[in-house]
Amino acid sequence: MNQAMQTIEGWYSLHDFRRMDWQKWRNASEQERSKALNEWKTLLNKWELTETNGQGSHCVYTVVGQKADFLFMILRPTIKEIHEAETAFSKTLLADYTLPAYSYLAVIEKSSFSDMPENPYEDPVLRSKLFPTIPKTEYICFYPMSKLRGEQANWFMLPIRDRKRLMFEHIETGRPYSDKIKRIITGSVGFDDYEWGVSLFSDDALQFKKLIYETRFDEVSAVYGVFGSFYIGQLLQKNRIEQFFHL
């Protein structure tokens, strides 16, 4: 039997993509729209307090292109709290003017491809990766991915030493971008349709293209990578909310 890679997990993660019903929003009264936005900002204030208290994190981005209009990414200690945050938004007046576009549920994951400290949950560097504050950079790139299980190439049938070697090469390709791009890697086996979700954060969106293009030539991506849709978003700060939703 082939050997599974050991993992340790941190906070759970939800990417919730919403599409605005702009016609319905346009038909609402100015008073109704103002009430909806104020209610949502109250919820965001509550999420900010959760983040300040170290019990999770969140971010809100508008989405470029036609796949969605905006997304919020939420990190929480448990799936129950993820569901509570999702439901809290669904109960807002603003949610009545949105349609679900896509969602992705996962948990922050660190595998033993690289060396692990003896007590990983007590290591401050590792804890910062398992329980992070989401970077509030100007841009986000999110995509789901899996490893191939084809007839000719099957990632899960490779010996563990080969998987470690290929992943180490992959990590080395991306290392020069570590100052320009921050990453949150989540595992989603059994939680969603793909096996991992990748969230990249940068103040320069072009760096996403450069990093992903270079890593395409790594064997682990060129032979074994299976990718879903890519979503690019721009940070929606609270002082820009009225501007984004203004008609």
Positions marked catalytic: 143
The span from the CA of 223 to the CA of 217, in Å, is: 9
Strand 231-235 to 182-187 pairing: unpaired
Intra-chain end-to-end CA distance of the chain, in Å? 60
Nearest-5° angle of CA 244, CA 18, CA 64?
Answer: 55
The span from the CA of 199 to the CA of 232, in Å, is: 10
Pair 27, 149: CB distance under 8 Å: no
The span from the CA of 219 to the CA of 208, in Å, is: 19
The span from the CA of 19 to the CA of 102, in Å, is: 9
206, HSE (Cβ side, Cα atoms, 13 Å): 0
